[in-house]
Homo-oligomer: A and B are copies of this chain.
Amino acid sequence: MRHGPVERLRAAGLRVTPQRVAVLEALEACSHPTADEVYRRVAARYPQMGLATVYNTLAALARQGQVVAVNIAEGRRYDLRTDPHQHIRCRRCGRVDDLPPWEDPGWQAMAVPPGWAVERWTLLAEGVCPACSAGATAAAPSS
């Protein structure tokens, strides 16, 4: 594996602790989890795990660029992909996925109000995921 949890932690100059490895494993296993989703998954194996540690770890990794915090509607989500890319969110179950990279993002030519210097664009698509359109599935979100 090119970038395993340990490599990521080393690359970020962070100490390798079992908790942090578990956090990174959770990020590999879920798609764009919230901090709480990471916590619940990690706590299943490390019952004494603290939620604050999850937040601290994610913040540390994000500060070092090993993880990206994505602000999607209600709640922040975390992503191991750190290259520029966009997201899609299911209105029904809340699932978030990456969008495939798009070669010619025409929005870079979009007119901006005079005087603004644009540094970055973020695109969020919203709709219904395959699982949810297949049948009555999952939880609450709605929008």
Q: Which of A3-11, A39-47, A108-116 contacts B (4 or more CB under 8 A)?
A: A108-116
A104 partner residues in chain B, CB cutoff 8 A? 106
Compute how far the CA of A104 lies from the CA of B104 in the bound complex, rounded to whole angstroms: 14
Asked if residues A133 and B115 are in contact (CB atoms below 8 Å), the reply is yes
Cβ of A124: which chain B residues have Cβ within 8 Å of it?
121-124
Q: Which residues of A contact B (CB under 8 A)?
A: 71-74, 86, 88, 90-91, 97, 99-100, 102, 104-107, 110-130, 133-134
> 10 extra interchain contacts, Cβ-Cβ under 8 A, other than A71-B72, A100-B111, A110-B123?
A88-B118, A90-B116, A100-B112, A102-B107, A106-B107, A116-B125, A119-B128, A120-B126, A121-B125, A122-B125
